[in-house]
Amino acid sequence: MTDYQAPVRQMRFTIEHLADFAEVATLPDFASVDGDTLSSVLEEAAKFAGNVLAPTNWLGDRQGVKVVDRAVQVPKEFKDAYVQFCEAGWPGIASNPEFGGQGLPKTVSLACDEMWAAANVAFALCPELSQGAILAMDRHATDELKQTYLEKLVSGQWAGTMCLTEPQAGSDLAALTSTAEPKGGRYLIRGQKIYITWGDHPMAENIIHLVLARLPDAPPGTKGISLFVVPKFKLNADGTPGERNDVFPVSVEHKMGIHASPTCVLAFGDEGGAEGYLVGKPNEGLAAMFTMMNYMRLGVGAQGVGLADRSYQKSVAYARERVQGRAPGEKGRVAIIRHPDVRRMLLLMRTLTQASRAICYYTASCLDRAAHGTDPEVVSRWQARADLMTPIAKAWCTEVAQEATELGVQVHGGMGYVEETGVAQFYRDARIASIYEGTNGIQAIDLVGRKLLRDGGATVSAFVTDMRSVDAPLANAGEDFAVVRAALSRALDELVQASTHLLTGEKRDPELVSAAAFDYMMLIGTVIGGWQLARGALVALEQLAAGGDRAFLETQLVMAKFYAEHVLPRCTAHTAAVRAGSASTMALAADHF
């Protein structure tokens, strides 16, 4: 169960050639980041993921977590791993150097997030949430709050959480009812939050909850929500954790996967009120929380990539060992990797994983160029691209992670359904990624409503133009690339047709957006994945001509072709579904279901 080897070579290739690392490294904030930094970070992270985190994955799944005496207990091995994680400096690699972070680009740190998730996603959620909380506080909190909390969060000494969901307020946060009563420069928070990941645990000395609640007389809906920071332990005058604050875990959920990640019901203020501090402006908390949510959405996409990759690795190993059946032209029984249907499954897993990795890393590089650029016009262009990419990275990459991890079970045959091989755990662990951080349906509606329609299609159209620029190099690359060129060109045409249909169809069909959004999200993700694999193949062709590593580079060519022939044709079906609109989807009355 401990065998995870991060695909460092593939990650590095993706960062360098498909996430425009050279351009990111020219940004002034990243002046000290170069190819050597990239190599050493990836190699050290790979060792940590493989040697320290991966061995705790299976035992975490078996042992799970529990609440004893109003406190969550986690496996002892997790606590040990967390200490090592912090000692090695991993929590703060991409955080603001002003608070002790190393300030690396997201383009680099996201590859580490992928490795942590592949090695042990239940564990990885804890530092990931802390990073999201740090970013939200860094952008929106007062200097005083930043000075009080950020250094300890960046070092990992304290951990962060995200407290949005309530029983009646899931996708619809407008319905949340937790309250915040002003009292002597602070606030007393009261209410119940559910599903709070790592809502309580003994791994960090203090837990810093970011909580959404309503001030007295706040307007209803999303315009009346404020953001508060609520520490598990109130702080002494010297900043050390002191008296217990009034926030306690009531229970942990028994779940399908990520068993070692405590998913808590948290009670705030049952004994009078949990002390908290306002972050950002009153009633503007949801906008501030979006900083954390968007951070987490890309992180969840990377979780999908990691789990898909780990499942692929196990499946290849199994397919090489398992002997079953015969094959034309070969004597005796063969390993199942010899069978075309097994090859199909393995290549689907591999290409979907690489396409989703390239989508996530590219999104990170858009974010880096937006957050650290200097020319306002260029910054706003990258910000628009990052905003477009974020729901795609979250939703498409986690949808294909379901497919890849499900294929991992299938490659194993009956053994895939037996827990001890581990692939069932990857499948179960991946399932939540389509649900939390905003379900994929909600992501798709956000993509169409806010990222396509709001600017009249300008951002998508600019991206389509950029993607079409691979057509000429593909044409020059010769007959061998004709299939990739034709499939990508057709898929881009279909994306334009579907976008135009959505841009012009809402008046005719008011339910079009919600009915067609999921297919549109799958369509655009599939196209961007094809574009990235084609770019990878073009780079590989160049490097092959220069005498590079044949096996690795030829793999990039095969992946682009396989994806063009077996995955890009899905675009035709998604486009047809978008164009069909809502009529048949809504034809059945609710009581006829």
Ligand X SMILES: Cc1cc2nc3c(=O)[nH]c(=O)nc-3n(C[C@H](O)[C@H](O)[C@H](O)COP(=O)(O)OP(=O)(O)OC[C@H]3O[C@@H](n4cnc5c(N)ncnc54)[C@H](O)[C@@H]3O)c2cc1C
Query: Would you name the residues annotated as active-site residues?
Result: 437
Q: In the window 217-256, what residues touch ligand X (CB under 6 A)?
A: 255
Cβ at position 195, least distance to ligand X in Å:
3
Cβ at position 83, least distance to ligand X in Å:
23
CA distance 412 to 319: 7
Q: Is 155 in the site for ligand X (CB under 6 A)?
A: no
Q: In the window 103-142, what residues touch ligand X (CB under 6 A)?
A: none
Contacts of 513 (CB under 8 A, 6+ apart): 445, 448, 449, 453, 502, 506
CA distance 515 to 449: 12
**CA 257 from centroid of its chain's CA atoms:** 17
Contacts of 259 (CB under 8 A, 6+ apart): 60, 61, 62, 63, 64, 65, 122
Q: Enter the DSSP assignment of 448.
A: I
Structure tokens at 564: 């063009």
Query: Candidates 26-34, 297-305, 436-444, 482-490 — which segment interacts with ligand X by CB under 6 A?
Result: 436-444
Q: Is 196 in the site for ligand X (CB under 6 A)?
A: yes
Q: Is 441 in the site for ligand X (CB under 6 A)?
A: yes
Cβ at position 448, least distance to ligand X in Å:
12
Cβ at position 591, least distance to ligand X in Å:
18
Q: Which of 171, 240, 380, 504 lies at the binding interface for ligand X (CB under 6 A)?
A: 171
Q: In the window 371-410, what residues touch ligand X (CB under 6 A)?
A: none
Give the interface size with ligand X as a residue count (CB under 6 A).
21
Closest CA to 528 of 363, 365, 405: 363
Residue (360 or 448) nearer to ligand X, CB? 448
SS3 state at 188: strand
CA distance 229 to 250: 20
Query: Candidates 6-14, 156-164, 410-418, 455-463 — which segment interacts with ligand X by CB under 6 A?
Result: 156-164
| Largest Cα–Cα separation, the chain | 83
Q: Is 288 in the site for ligand X (CB under 6 A)?
A: no
Q: Which residue is nearest to ligand X (CB)?
A: 170
Q: Is 163 in the site for ligand X (CB under 6 A)?
A: yes
Residue (138 or 437) nearer to ligand X, CB? 437
Closest CA to 520 of 444, 456, 434: 444
Give the H/E segment covering residue 67: strand 66-68
Residue (195 or 427) nearer to ligand X, CB? 195
H-type alpha helices, 412-481: 414-417, 423-431, 440-446, 458-468, 471-476
Q: E strands, 69-110, where?
A: 71-73
CA distance 392 to 384: 13
CB 78 within 8 A of CB 123: yes
Residue (301 or 416) nearer to ligand X, CB? 301
Q: Is 436 in the site for ligand X (CB under 6 A)?
A: yes
CA distance 211 to 140: 14
Q: Is 168 in the site for ligand X (CB under 6 A)?
A: no
Cβ at position 522, least distance to ligand X in Å:
15
* Cβ neighbour number for residue 45 with a 10 Å cutoff: 26
Structure tokens at 316: 């290849």
Residue (197 or 226) nearer to ligand X, CB? 197
Cβ at position 507, least distance to ligand X in Å:
20
Q: Is 303 in the site for ligand X (CB under 6 A)?
A: no
Side chain identity, residue 18: L
Structure tokens at 438: 């905003």
SS3 state at 154: helix
Q: Which of 135, 164, 302, 308 lies at the binding interface for ligand X (CB under 6 A)?
A: 164
- Please give the C-alpha separations between residue 295 and each of 100, 115, 132, 187, in angstroms, as whole numbers: 20, 17, 6, 26
Q: Which of 54, 117, 389, 432 lies at the binding interface for ligand X (CB under 6 A)?
A: 432
Residue (399 or 437) nearer to ligand X, CB? 437
Query: Candidates 191-199, 273-281, 350-358, 500-508 — which segment interacts with ligand X by CB under 6 A?
Result: 191-199
Query: Candidates 195-203, 361-369, 524-532, 572-580 — which segment interacts with ligand X by CB under 6 A?
Result: 195-203
Q: Which of 102, 165, 245, 315 lies at the binding interface for ligand X (CB under 6 A)?
A: 165
Query: Candidates 161-169, 343-351, 373-381, 453-461 — which segment interacts with ligand X by CB under 6 A?
Result: 161-169
Binding mask 316-345 for ligand X (x = CB under 6 A): ------------------------------
- Please give the C-alpha separations between residue 528 and each of 42, 80, 281, 355, 533, in angstroms, as whole numbers: 25, 40, 37, 8, 9
Q: Which of 442, 487, 491, 541 lies at the binding interface for ligand X (CB under 6 A)?
A: 442
Q: Which of 73, 102, 131, 197 lies at the binding interface for ligand X (CB under 6 A)?
A: 197
SS3 state at 255: coil
Q: Is 435 in the site for ligand X (CB under 6 A)?
A: yes
Binding mask 487-526 for ligand X (x = CB under 6 A): ---------------------------x------------
Contacts of 563 (CB under 8 A, 6+ apart): 351, 355, 529, 530, 533
**Which residue is associated with the tokens 């050493």?**
40
Q: Is 262 in the site for ligand X (CB under 6 A)?
A: no
Q: Which of 75, 249, 408, 438 lies at the binding interface for ligand X (CB under 6 A)?
A: 438
Q: Is 263 in the site for ligand X (CB under 6 A)?
A: yes
Kindly report the length of the chain: 593
Binding mask 448-487 for ligand X (x = CB under 6 A): ----------------------------------------
Residue (113 or 437) nearer to ligand X, CB? 437
* Sign of the alpha-carbon torsion through 217, 219, 220, 221: negative
SS3 state at 181: strand
Q: For binding to ligand X (CB under 6 A), which residues are involved?
A: 162-165, 170-171, 195-197, 255, 263, 432, 435-439, 441-442, 445, 514
